[in-house]
Amino acid sequence: MKPARPILIIGGGLAGTALAWRLHERGAPFLLVDRDAPVTASKIAAGLVTPITGMRLTLSWRYSAFHAEALRFYRDKEALLGGVFFYETPVVRLLRSEKEVHRWQERRAQPEIASFIHATREPLVNDTVFANPHGGFEQRPAGWLDTAAWLQASRDFFTRQGAWLTGEVAADALQVNAGSASWDGREYESAVFCTGWEAARHPWFDWAPFKSARGTILTLRADLGGERRVISSGCWVVPRADGSARAGPTYEIPFTAPHTPAREAVAGLEAKLRAMVRADFQVIEEQTAVRPIVHGHEALLGLHPGRPRVAILNGLGSKGVLRSPWLARHLVEHLLDGAPLEPAVDLTAQ
């Protein structure tokens, strides 16, 4: 079903932008309103897409299906927009201790993990550039999205279509009744909150179990010996074509100021980096924002239980690049076709 009136998307990060594209694919009218803050989680994210993650070396939820859908989605939009935003590259994981080596030996015997490990080169890394006392492995398919370029190109495209507006949707400026939502003198079929961690501050969603985490990412100037793969070992380094690299992240819960990290958190990140990177590097930029995380949910989607003209697409955590294409399609099928939501992401399945 195509709605008669446009859908209002509030927020143009990875969530709102993916939703805009999914509505565009369906020919459904929408207006996306984003305040264009200079630093947001989506704008500063490293954009990594990695199958085996975390201290426990676990496989990311539904990785194969989400990766295939995300790759198709970004390549399709690249063809339309005339640019490259997603870079396919292996992610090298360097093990940090004998305990991790032991865990890895158990994990790699599991077929669902083994399929992401490919013949690794010898030596795995240039050990004058990266410390590698315990060995490691190379995982694929993986890669990273240049999120800033992706968001900007999408915004330019939708601005030309008259479907993107720079502005603020203040909490009290959105009127919602049984049949529609209205904002700034115009009626909408519904309003979808894609406002990231700030949704937790909105009275309509403050009951959801948000447990968002502040994170800092550094930009480095470093000679990494021509390394182009992503290297991770308690933190990661993403080499860029211009000779710089992104490195991170910190993970801070709780937090107060969203863009001001605790100095000890950043010092801890720098210490991890110095343990991993033997080459000289200088930190040339530091950026901090908040990842939206919802406790007990892989993400948060759906219509507000008491306000059926209001919906949410949130809780992307550290997997926004991988999951936003599927999540946005899933929500659109729910809104336009009445398809049921999966419990793992359903707002009402608390």
Ligand X SMILES: Cc1cc2nc3c(=O)[nH]c(=O)nc-3n(C[C@H](O)[C@H](O)[C@H](O)COP(=O)(O)OP(=O)(O)OC[C@H]3O[C@@H](n4cnc5c(N)ncnc54)[C@H](O)[C@@H]3O)c2cc1C
The residues that touch ligand X, with contacts defined as CB under 6 A, are: 10-16, 33-35, 37, 40-42, 44-48, 168-169, 194-196, 198, 215-217, 248-249, 289, 291-292, 314, 316-322
Residue 320 beta carbon to ligand X: minimum distance, rounded to whole angstroms: 3
Helix (H, G, I), strand (E, B) or coil at 121: coil
State the DSSP string of 188-215. Answer: ESEEEE--GGGGGGSTTTTTS-B--EEE
The first and second tokens of residue 280, run together, are: 């000289």
Is the four-CA dihedral 174, 175, 177, 181 of positive or negative sign?
negative
The CA–CA distances, whole Å, from 90 to 156, 228, 319, 330 equal 30, 9, 17, 28
Q: Measured from the CB atom, is 10 or 129 closer to ligand X?
A: 10
Residue 48 beta carbon to ligand X: minimum distance, rounded to whole angstroms: 3
Q: Measured from the CB atom, is 101 or 253 closer to ligand X?
A: 253
State the DSSP string of 204-268. Answer: TTTTS-B--EEEEEEEEEE--TT--SEEESSSEEEE-TTSEEEEE---BSS-SSTT---HHHHHH
Residue 233 beta carbon to ligand X: minimum distance, rounded to whole angstroms: 15
Residue 242 beta carbon to ligand X: minimum distance, rounded to whole angstroms: 18
Q: Measured from the CB atom, is 47 or 239 closer to ligand X?
A: 47
Residue 20 beta carbon to ligand X: minimum distance, rounded to whole angstroms: 11
Q: Measured from the CB atom, is 126 or 219 closer to ligand X?
A: 219
> Can you tell me the distance from the alpha carbon of 74 to that of 64, in angstroms, rounded to the nearest whole number?
15
Q: Measured from the CB atom, is 111 or 263 closer to ligand X?
A: 263
